[in-house]
Amino acid sequence: MKKRWLWVGLIAAVVVLAAGRVYYTRGQPVAEPQRPRDPGLTVLFAIRTVERADGTRLSKEQIAKILPFVKALKDVPTTDDAGVIIARAIRDTFTAEQKAALEAARQQFQARGRQQQQGAAAGGVGEGGPVAGPAGGPAGAGISDEQRAQFRARAFERMIRYLERRMK
């Protein structure tokens, strides 16, 4: 008789612990898996970065080499490995000065990200604090896949028009 009560007590304890865990984790935010980077958008940001300064702007010859790749990259799905290969071919056309400017911009971006993380860890919102997106969540969190695809298409169209104007 005592063994049966021992088993009933153990089962009750397991049930209580499991229910407590479910209750405790119910309020915890679920981390979304990080979305893989889009090589096409990375290229667009790189082109915009080198175009910012007069010393690193693309030459007409570089634009003539890059433009067909950008047009092709527009139609490549973000999950396709061909996008990475095309993006690498575009980056290979950059000069040493342009690559140095891209590296400096990347380091500046990472430093800004670290500052925002430190601000978020300290609980600060505002200067150096986290960037809020729709509904107060992180920036870009409330964007659907369809909206992201539309943004990508518009960004490519604008860049292609810009490069075509610059080539003239």
Q: Is the pTM of this model over 0.75?
A: no
CA count, 13 A, side-chain hemisphere, 45:
12
What's the one-letter identity of residue 10? L
Positive or negative, the CA dihedral 92, 96, 98, 104 is positive
Cβ atoms of residues 129 and 116 within 8 Å? yes
pLDDT band for position 119 (cuts 50, 70, 90): confident
Report whether pLDDT(168) > 90: no
Q: What is the pLDDT of residues 14-51, one digit of tens each?
A: 777 777 776 666 666 666 666 678 899 999 999 999 99
Cα(92)–Cα(51) distance, integer angstroms: 16
**Residues 124-153: what's their mean pLDDT?**
64
- The more confident residue out of 133 and 161 is 161
Question: How far is residue 152's CA from residue 40's CA, in Å, rounded to a whole number?
Answer: 8
Rounded mean pLDDT, 91-101? 94
pLDDT at 64: 95
Residue 62 has pLDDT above 60, yes or no: yes
Find where tokens 């071919």 sit.
Answer: 89
C-alpha 52/C-alpha 30 separation (Å) is: 39
Quote the pLDDT of residue 145: 85
Q: What are the sequence ranges of the domains in the chain?
A: 35-122+142-168
pLDDT of residue 137: 45
Picking from 34-38, 90-94, 135-139, which range would have the lowest pLDDT averaged per residue?
A: 135-139
